[in-house]
Amino acid sequence: MDQSAPNLQIKLIALDLDDTLLRTDLSISEENKRALQRAENLGIHIVLASGRNYFSMHRYAEELFIHRRGDYLIGSNGAQLIQASTGKLLEDLKLPADFCRSTTAEIERQGYFWQLYIEGTIYCNRMNEWAITDHQLSGLPVEVISDMDAVLSQDQTKIVVGGEPARIESLYRELKNHIGSRAEIVTSKPYFLEVLPKGANKGAALERLAKRLRIGMESVLAIGDARNDFDMIRRAGWGCAPANAEKEVRAVARFVSAKTNEEDAVADILGHIVFS
DSSP 139: -
Q: How far apart are CA 24 and CA 30, in angstroms?
A: 15
Q: How far apart are CA 264 and CA 102, in angstroms?
A: 43
> 266, 36 in Cβ contact below 8 A?
yes
Q: How far apart are CA 203 and CA 230, in angstroms?
A: 8
Q: Which class would CATH give 97-197?
A: alpha beta
How many residues belong to the chain?
Answer: 276
**0.85 exceeded by the pTM?**
yes
| Closest by CA position to 19, among listed 270, 247, 265 | 265
Give the CA distances from residue 210 to residues 18, 222, 269, in Å, rounded to whole numbers and listed in that order.
Answer: 23, 12, 21
Q: What pLDDT digit, counting tens, does each position of 231-276 carry?
A: 999 999 999 999 999 999 999 999 999 999 999 999 999 999 999 8
Residue 5 has a pLDDT of: 46
Q: How far apart are CA 105 and CA 87, in angstroms?
A: 32
> 240, 273 in Cβ contact below 8 A?
yes
| 137 phi and psi angles, rounded to 5 deg | -75, -45
**Residue 214 CA, distance from chain mean position:** 22
Q: What pLDDT digit, counting tens, does each position of 164-214 carry?
A: 999 999 999 999 999 999 999 999 999 999 999 999 999 999 999 999 999
DSSP 3-state of 130: helix
> What is the architecture, at CATH level 2, of domain 12-92+200-273?
3-Layer(aba) Sandwich (3.40)
Apex CA 120: angle with CA 126 and CA 90, to 5°? 125
Q: What pLDDT digit, counting tens, does each position of 29-84 carry?
A: 999 999 999 999 999 999 999 999 999 999 999 999 986 777 899 999 999 999 99
| Closest by CA position to 189, among listed 172, 167, 171, 165 | 165
Q: 30-41 and 265-273 are packed helices; what angle lies between their axes, rounded to 10 degrees?
A: 30
Strand partners, 184: 196
- Element housing 189 (H / E): strand 183-189
Q: What pLDDT digit, counting tens, does each position of 145-171 carry?
A: 999 999 999 999 999 999 999 999 999
> 20, 225 in Cβ contact below 8 A?
yes
> 124, 143 in Cβ contact below 8 A?
yes
Show me where the domains of the chain are located: 12-92+200-273, 97-197
Which amino acid is present at 204? A
Q: Which residues contact 157 (CB under 8 A, 6 or more apart)?
A: 53, 76, 79, 80, 92, 93, 94, 95, 116, 117, 196, 197
In the chain, what is the greatest distance between 2 CA atoms, to the nearest angstrom? 56
